[in-house]
């Protein structure tokens, strides 16, 4: 209560009402040594209702749990001090809003998203069963621990809990106990708003033992409920505890306001009085409490931990090989020679599917790493993740099931979300886990993948059927946005190999990883195995991106082709044809953006080596969303990718429909080269400042600078031609004009302009609107406080309507005279007349422009309202005095 109140944030109600449960469980049942909170045979306590984090922080503090340091060393410091509790939910405190594994010692898993902790606890229970089956020997019961998880109504509503409970019941995990806080409260109010099922009946149907404690404050009833779990040997147990949230807190008991907000000083004082505590004291730990925990939990745990350590010393003598495996496993290390049987693949035009190559590598590694275990969400025949390696001619891995906990092939059923959390729980028990499915269904497991990423644990996700290559299954089964989504997740590494040898290198990279989940993305369809005597070694994968093929021979390439996975071979084919035409192309395989980013952070020059900034002609190819590829192709490059969902058809038809072909890559490469070699496209204005700029540009072109111009007038076009500046039409340049540079006759403080003294105002405005940036060059004499202060406003009109326009302008208080040139009416490049108008200085040029443009016969005005991006002010010699930017 005090911690939440001080933080002015948190969830106080559940920790208050479940304090008797936590006390009973920790003091009388939990097999846990506070002085060694990571000894392998400890019971696991999971707070699935992670919002009630002050419950577990209080228990860790009172129990005196020690801190676990680097390399799993025990530090003689409290994992959660009283000061840490006082700093609940504060930056860098050991008491964050929800429990975080690896940050707070004594926290077995990160929880918060409801239901995640429950599913993770199933993984922990499954790991115990496997460890016991594999490593226990007669007289050496190294593994026999229980897993407890506290959950609430929200956990029960989440689908992941039902997925996990179903599997736990099927597997008869009698070492698993869920304790359900049935307080019937959610954030919005009573659970009757949205939840009326009979939870007990549901769990009986799922194959669980169910017992009920009718009073959450009755320690004897709680003890009997947990003993019921201990007496059950053929199924998991659900203990339902009927509680009142914020029990004993005046005005808050059994009310939803106690769930997620501070209780208030008055309510806390009242509660302390009800509990027999001093209401004037905060963060009080009464005399004898610490010793009480040491006498029960502390002594029981220390004795059990010491006995286990002694047993393991004997085990090492009798079963040295198994003991060595356990020591390596606990440190997340690998046995010597773990990769000695990994195959290599010769060049093969037909090749094989990524999933097939991965299966071969997996089954080459698994015999040498016995604790490498995993399975799929009912898709092993498709994802090829079943362990099929043989000994004496027989498959020996077996299936993990209720009658055989020794099996290494796990069947998670069609439960992707639970599978991910179960993998997390197993991995937290130090076994090395993998799970597989179709990439499209990674969305179903995303919440669990994210928790694994937060915890930094090396779970491996093998996702196959990675693109529209799925073909006939259609858009529901063709992943589009999934690669971008996974790449966006912090702490997660995604790898998409291009051929069998990159698959090999991916596994070599993955297995030694200790603190990071990995997604291995594989194809269903065959991939050509590249000739690595001709192209670079696949071990370039360890750098994330590498030059696979290069015709530039150490010089600057004409174009860079970039791809991942199945599209790399497409780029190789395009590369060979481009080289045959004399185009120096480079192919970069980029199997992992994350590995590349990490490698570049350690080797700052590598990015320039692979992707020279001077090479702007770039084409990226990936049969997935184009999102994010700008990082590699830049503003000038192009990405051939998916900008919609897919379709149901054979792969070749889909590739044709969506533009994935060697010819498409070649065309894009040539277009890029042409575009970049043509240089930037610049709008060329009219007037004195623009004339000076065009002359300067002519000098740059003469020196080799590549640029093209779009003139706004015949005068600027004539000048540009005389200086050999290449010109293009607006139709040719539309969408590619990087900037337009022009002068102005007046500029106000908001960067509104009057232009048109060069009599090309319509063309100037069109070019300005077409450019990505509109830059104005003026002398300081053109800066005014109000437009109209310095000169006249040009208004372009059709000749037939000139008289009407002049008359209408007069009614607005504007006097206009037709522009005369050499004694006759001047004609613009568009064949129109100009009225030079004297206007009253205005602070609202937009309103005045609107009034003028509504007059029939008006083509446009010299007002340029909020069009200039940058105004550069110079002196008579064009030395920069000031620059202003549009807000």
pLDDT mean over 617-627: 97
pLDDT at 114 over 90: yes
CA distances from 459 to 165, 426, 452 (A): 21, 9, 7
Q: Which residues pair with 527 in a beta bridge?
A: 352
Residue pLDDT, tens place only, 443-477: 999 999 999 999 999 999 999 999 999 989 999 99
d(CA 138, CA 127) in angstroms, rounded, equals 20
Residue pLDDT, tens place only, 802-835: 999 999 999 999 999 999 999 999 999 899 999 9
d(CA 654, CA 528) in angstroms, rounded, equals 19
In the sheet with 815-818, reading across from the earlier edge strand, the strands are 815-818, 833-838, 793-797, 858-861
Domain range annotation of the chain: 2-302, 348-526, 559-671, 679-885
Q: What count of other Cβ atoms lies within 10 Å of the Cβ of residue 773?
A: 14
Positive/negative CA dihedral, 102, 107, 112, 114:
positive
d(CA 407, CA 401) in angstroms, rounded, equals 7
Among residues 425, 344, 331, the alpha carbon closest in space to that of 46 is found at 425
DSSP-assigned states of every residue in 569-607: HHHHHHHHHHHHTT--EEEEE-S-HHHHHHHHHHSTTHH
- Token duo for residue 386: 């079943």
Q: Supply the pLDDT for residue 679.
A: 78
Residue pLDDT, tens place only, 761-789: 899 999 999 999 999 999 888 999 999 99
Positive/negative CA dihedral, 493, 498, 501, 503:
positive
3-state secondary structure of 834: strand
Residue pLDDT, tens place only, 560-614: 999 999 999 999 999 999 999 999 999 999 999 999 999 999 999 999 999 999 8
Chain mean pLDDT for the chain = 96
Q: Supply the pLDDT for residue 878.
A: 66
Q: Are 469 and 623 in contact (CB under 8 A)?
A: yes
Residue spans of beta strands (DSSP E) within 445-517 = 460-464, 493-495
Residue pLDDT, tens place only, 635-660: 889 999 999 999 999 999 999 999 99
Q: Which residues pair with 779 in a beta bridge?
A: 874
- Token duo for residue 721: 């031609």
Contacts (Cβ under 8 Å, ≥6 apart) of 644? 480
Q: Are 462 and 385 in contact (CB under 8 A)?
A: yes
d(CA 821, CA 75) in angstroms, rounded, equals 92
Class at the top of the CATH hierarchy for domain 2-302: alpha beta
Is 679-885 CATH 3.40.50.1360? yes
pLDDT mean over 66-81: 94
pLDDT mean over 607-633: 95
pLDDT mean over 132-138: 99
Among residues 714, 353, 626, 398, the alpha carbon closest in space to that of 502 is found at 353
Q: What count of other Cβ atoms lies within 10 Å of the Cβ of residue 801?
A: 17
pLDDT band at 760 (very low <50, low <70, confident <90, very high): confident
CA distances from 743 to 436, 583, 862 (A): 63, 41, 12
d(CA 306, CA 144) in angstroms, rounded, equals 15
Among residues 112, 118, 129, the alpha carbon closest in space to that of 166 is found at 118
Catalytic residues: 416
CA distances from 19 to 94, 273, 288 (A): 20, 17, 17
Residue pLDDT, tens place only, 406-418: 999 999 999 999 9
- Token duo for residue 123: 């993984």
3-state secondary structure of 436: strand
Residue pLDDT, tens place only, 681-711: 999 998 888 898 999 999 988 887 888 999 9
pLDDT mean over 155-160: 98
Q: Are 322 and 468 in contact (CB under 8 A)?
A: no
Q: Supply the pLDDT for residue 505.
A: 99
d(CA 631, CA 94) in angstroms, rounded, equals 37
d(CA 331, CA 136) in angstroms, rounded, equals 19
At residue 862, φ and ψ (nearest 5 deg) are -80, 5
Q: Supply the pLDDT for residue 701.
A: 87
Lowest mean pLDDT among 443-447, 536-540, 728-732: 728-732
Instruction: State the architecture of 348-526 in CATH terms.
Output: 3-Layer(aba) Sandwich (3.40)
Q: Are 92 and 112 in contact (CB under 8 A)?
A: no
- The pTM for the full model equals 0.82
Among residues 769, 737, 762, the alpha carbon closest in space to that of 860 is found at 762
Q: Are 665 and 562 in contact (CB under 8 A)?
A: no
Q: Supply the pLDDT for residue 554.
A: 80
Residue pLDDT, tens place only, 309-355: 999 999 999 999 999 999 999 999 999 999 999 999 999 999 999 99
Residue pLDDT, tens place only, 207-235: 999 999 999 999 999 999 999 999 999 99
Residue pLDDT, tens place only, 161-211: 999 999 999 999 999 999 999 999 999 999 999 999 999 999 999 999 999
pLDDT mean over 468-489: 95
Q: Please tell me if the domain spanning 2-302 has the same topology as the one spanning 348-526.
A: yes
Q: Are 490 and 455 in contact (CB under 8 A)?
A: no
Q: Supply the pLDDT for residue 70.
A: 84
Q: Supply the pLDDT for residue 675.
A: 79
Q: Are 416 and 444 in contact (CB under 8 A)?
A: yes
d(CA 386, CA 398) in angstroms, rounded, equals 10
Conformation bin of residue 878: beta by default, left when phi > 0, alpha when psi is -120 to 50: left
Q: Supply the pLDDT for residue 882.
A: 86
CATH of domain 559-671: 3.40.50.920
């Amino acid at each position: 209560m005090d911690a939440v109140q001080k933080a002015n944030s948190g969830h106080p109600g559940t920790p208050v009402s479940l304090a008797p449960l936590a006390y009973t469980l920790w003091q009388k049942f939990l097999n846990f040594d506070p002085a060694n909170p990571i000894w392998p045979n400890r019971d696991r306590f999971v707070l699935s209702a992670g919002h009630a984090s002050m419950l577990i922080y209080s228990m860790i503090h009172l129990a005196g749990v020690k801190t676990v340091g680097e390399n799993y060393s025990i530090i003689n410091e409290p994992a959660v001090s009283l000061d840490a509790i006082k700093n609940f939910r504060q930056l860098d405190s050991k008491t964050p809003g929800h429990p975080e594994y690896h940050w707070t010692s004594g926290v077995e898993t990160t929880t918060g998203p409801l239901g995640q902790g429950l599913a993770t606890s199933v993984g922990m229970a499954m790991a115990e069963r496997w460890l016991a089956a594999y490593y226990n020997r007669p007289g050496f019961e190294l593994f026999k621990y229980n897993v407890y998880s506290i959950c609430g109504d929200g956990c029960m509503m989440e689908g992941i809990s039902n997925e996990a409970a179903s599997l736990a019941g099927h597997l008869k995990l009698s070492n698993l106990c869920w304790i359900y806080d049935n307080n019937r409260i959610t954030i919005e109010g009573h659970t009757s708003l949205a939840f009326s099922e009979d939870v007990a009946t549901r769990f009986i149907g799922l194959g669980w033992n169910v017992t009920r404690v009718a009073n959450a404050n009755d320690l004897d009833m709680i003890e009997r409920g947990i003993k019921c779990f201990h007496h059950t040997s053929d199924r998991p147990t659900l203990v339902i505890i009927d509680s009142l949230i914020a029990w004993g807190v005046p005005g808050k008991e059994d009310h939803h306001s106690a769930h997620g907000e501070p209780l208030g000083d008055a309510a806390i004082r009242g509660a302390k009085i009800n509990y027999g505590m001093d209401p004037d004291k905060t963060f009080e730990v009464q005399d004898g409490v610490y010793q009480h925990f040491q006498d029960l939990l502390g002594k029981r745990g220390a004795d059990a931990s010491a006995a286990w350590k002694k047993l393991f010393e004997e085990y090492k003598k009798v079963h040295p090989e198994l003991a060595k495996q356990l020591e390596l496993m606990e440190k997340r290390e690998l046995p010597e020679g773990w990769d000695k049987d990994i195959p290599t693949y010769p060049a093969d035009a037909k090749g094989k599917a990524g999933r097939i190559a991965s299966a071969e590598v997996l089954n080459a590694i698994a015999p040498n790493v016995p604790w490498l275990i995993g399975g799929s969400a009912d898709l092993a025949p498709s994802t090829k993740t079943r362990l099929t390696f043989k000994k004496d001619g027989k498959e020996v891995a077996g299936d993990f099931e209720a009658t055989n906990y020794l099996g290494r092939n796990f069947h998670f059923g069609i439960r992707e979300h639970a599978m991910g959390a179960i993998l997390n729980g197993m991995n937290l028990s130090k076994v090395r886990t993998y799970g597989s499915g179709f990439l499209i269904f990674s969305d179903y497991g995303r919440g669990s993948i994210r928790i694994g990423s937060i915890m930094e644990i090396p779970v491996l996700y093998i996702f196959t059927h990675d693109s529209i290559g799925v073909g006939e299954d259609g858009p529901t089964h063709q992943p589009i946005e999934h690669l971008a989504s996974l790449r966006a997740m912090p702490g997660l590494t995604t790898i998409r190999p291009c051929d069998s040898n990159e698959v090999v290198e991916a596994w070599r990279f993955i297995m030694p990883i200790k603190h990071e989940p990995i997604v291995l993305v594989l194809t269903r369809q065959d991939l050509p195995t590249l000739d690595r005597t001709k192209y670079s070694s696949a071990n370039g994968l360890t750098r994330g991106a590498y030059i696979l093929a290069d015709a530039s021979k150490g010089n600057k390439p004409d174009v860079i082709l970039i791809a991942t996975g199945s599209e790399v071979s497409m780029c190789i084919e395009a590369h060979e044809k481009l080289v045959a035409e004399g185009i120096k192309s480079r192919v970069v395989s980029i199997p992992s953006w994350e590995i590349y980013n990490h490698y570049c952070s350690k080797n700052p020059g590598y990015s320039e080596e692979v992707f020279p900034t001077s090479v702007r002609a770039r084409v990226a190819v990936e049969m997935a969303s184009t999102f994010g590829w700008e990082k590699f192709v830049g503003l000038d490059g192009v990405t051939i990718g998916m900008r919609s969902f897919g379709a149901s058809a054979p792969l070749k038809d889909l590739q044709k429909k969506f533009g994935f072909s060697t010819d498409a890559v070649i065309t894009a490469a040539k277009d890029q080269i042409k575009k970049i070699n043509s240089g930037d496209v610049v709008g060329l204005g009219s007037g004195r400042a623009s004339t000076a700029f065009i002359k300067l540009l002519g000098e740059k072109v003469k020196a080799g600078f590549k640029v093209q111009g779009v003139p706004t007038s015949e005068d600027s076009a004539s000048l540009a031609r005389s200086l050999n500046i290449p010109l293009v039409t607006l139709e040719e340049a539309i969408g590619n004009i990087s900037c337009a540079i022009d002068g102005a006759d007046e500029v106000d403080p908001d960067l509104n302009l009057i232009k048109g003294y060069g009599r090309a105002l319509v063309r100037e405005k069109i070019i300005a609107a077409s450019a990505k940036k509109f830059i104005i060059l003026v002398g300081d004499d053109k800066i005014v406080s109000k437009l109209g202060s310095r000169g006249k406003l040009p208004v372009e009109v059709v000749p037939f309507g000139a008289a009407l326009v002049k008359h209408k302008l007069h009614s607005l208080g504007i006097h206009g005279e037709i522009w005369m040139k050499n004694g006759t009416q001047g004609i613009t490049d568009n064949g129109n007349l100009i009225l030079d108008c004297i206007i009253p200085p205005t602070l609202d040029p937009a309103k005045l422009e609107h009034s003028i443009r509504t007059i029939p016969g008006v083509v446009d005005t010299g007002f340029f309202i909020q069009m200039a991006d940058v105004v550069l002010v110079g002196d008579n010699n064009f030395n920069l005095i000031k620059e202003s930017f549009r807000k």
